[in-house]
Amino acid sequence: MVEGLRRVVVTGMGAVTPIGNDVGTYWEGLSSARNGVAPITLFDASRHACRFAAEVKGFDSAGWLEPKEAKRWDRFCQFGVVAAKQAVADAGLSIDDTNRHRIGVSIGSGVGGLLMMETQAHVLADRGPDRVSPFCVPMMIPNMATGLAAIALGARGPSSAVATACAAGSNAIGDAFRTIQLGLADAMVCGGAESAITPLGVAGFASAKALSFRNDDPATASRPFDRDRNGFVIGEGAGVLVLESLDHARARGATVLAEVVGYGTTCDAHHITAPSPGGTGGAEAMRLALADARLNPEAVDYVNAHGTSTQANDSNETAAIKAALGAHAQRIPVSSTKSMTGHLLGGSGGIEAVAAVLAIGHNLVPPTINYSTPDPACDLDVVPNQAREHPVNVVLSNSFGFGGHNVCLAFRRMT
C-alpha cells in the first residue's frame, strides 16, 4: 500500500450461490464439500451438448425484494441486489441522508441480463417490435445490478459496473478498494453477479468448447487440476462485500472480518479466450497484489485459485502461482471452490472473495472436490476432496477472464 492511503476492511458479506443462498449456508456447503452441480432445470436442455449446470436452488427473494420488482428484473439483478442487501445487513451499516453520498456500489457482471435479452429477442421475432418489454434494455445491461442495488440501498456515492468477463467481480472489489483508499468514499458495496444459464448462454459456451460434456455423471464434471478435467461447469449467483475505511468502521463500532491489502490487475494481450503461455499475466497480477500489500510470497497461507477445470486454465494458473510465489507455492494449499459451485463467470470473484474471508475467519481451507487423478502439470497442494484445518492469515484470490483480464486480491487477518 502507498503511504498515506487509507486502510480498507471487510465488514459485511452476502452470497447467493449454487450451494447456499446466504453466507452461513454457503460456508457450510464449502466446508462440507457440497456439490452444486446437477441437470439443468431452468430450461429444456435435451437438445444441448451440455445438459447440466450449477443452478441456484430454492432462491426466494421474498423479504428482500418487492414481488412486483422481482418480476420485472433479470435473474442476475435479483441475485445481486439480494446479496448486496444481505451484506449491508451483515455489516450493520445504516445508509441515510447523513452518509449516502459517501457510500457507493460496484457490482461486476460478465454477461449481464442474458435471460432478458434472449426472452425479448423471441418476443420480437414471434410477436413483433411493439410487444418488446419496456424493461428489456434496462434489465439486460450489465450495470443494472449496480444501479438497482444503489436504488434499493439509497447509496449515492461512486457507482460503477465492471464487465471484464470472469474477472468482473474481483475487478469490482479491487476498484472499490482503491476508491476507499483514495478517500473518494467511506464505504463500498461491491462484488459480482451473474445468471447466464440460458439456452443461448449454455449453447454459446458449449460451441466454444469451454464446457464439460460429462452428461453421464455431471456431479463429477467440475474437477479442477485433475488430469481428466475437460471443461468448466457454468454456475450462477452473486457474492457481495461491504468494504469500509478502517477509521469509518471503527467509528461506528463495526465488526471487522478481514482487511483488504492488495489488488493486482493485468491483461495478457494474447488471445480472446486462451491465457498467455505459462500464465505470465496471472503471475504478474499476483506479484502486483503482493507488492501493493507489502507482503513477501512467504506470507501467503492460501490461494483461492481461479481453477476453472479447463485444460488451459489449470495448468497455466499452476505455472503462474509458481512464478509468483516461487518455492513457497509448494508449501501452501491452493484450492478451487468452483469444483463445488461451478463457474459463476462475472459472479465468481464475488463468491470467492467471500470464501477467502471465511477461510481467514475459520482457519479452514475449502477443498477441491472430484479430484482423483493427479496431473503433473498441476502439481500443487490442491486440498483434494475434504476441507482442511490450516492457519490462514493471508489469502490470495485469483480471477482470470476471457479477453486476457487477470485479477488478484489479497486479504489479511485484521491486526
SS3 345: helix
Is 166 noted as a catalytic residue in this protein? yes
Which of 143, 145, 240 shows the shortest CA–CA distance to 189? Answer: 240
Is 390 noted as a catalytic residue in this protein? no
Cell representation of residue 329: 507455492
- All residues at 6 or more sequence positions from 334 whose CB lies less than 8 Å from its CB, including other chains: 302, 303, 305, 321, 380, 381, 382, 383
Determine which one of 77, 190, 306, 405 is catalytic: 306
C-alpha distances in Å from residue 322, one per residue of 121, 158, 298, 380 = 46, 37, 12, 9
- Rounded to 5°, the CA angle 237-243-247 comes to 165
Q: Hey, which bits of 123-186 come out as E strands?
A: 159-160
How far apart are alpha carbons 285 and 291 in whole angstroms? 10
* Bridging pattern class, strands 187-195 and 258-267: unpaired
Burial class (CB in 10 A: 0-12, 13-18, 19+), 203: middle
- Give the chain's length: 415
Determine which one of 50, 136, 248, 343 is catalytic: 343
Which of 89, 30, 119 shows the shortest CA–CA distance to 336? Answer: 30
- Indicate the angle between helix axes 348-362 and 168-181, nearest 10 degrees: 70
What does DSSP assign to residue 158?
-
Is 267 noted as a catalytic residue in this protein? no
Determine which one of 77, 166, 190, 378 is catalytic: 166
Query: Which residue type is seen at 214?
Result: R
Positions marked active-site: 166, 306, 343
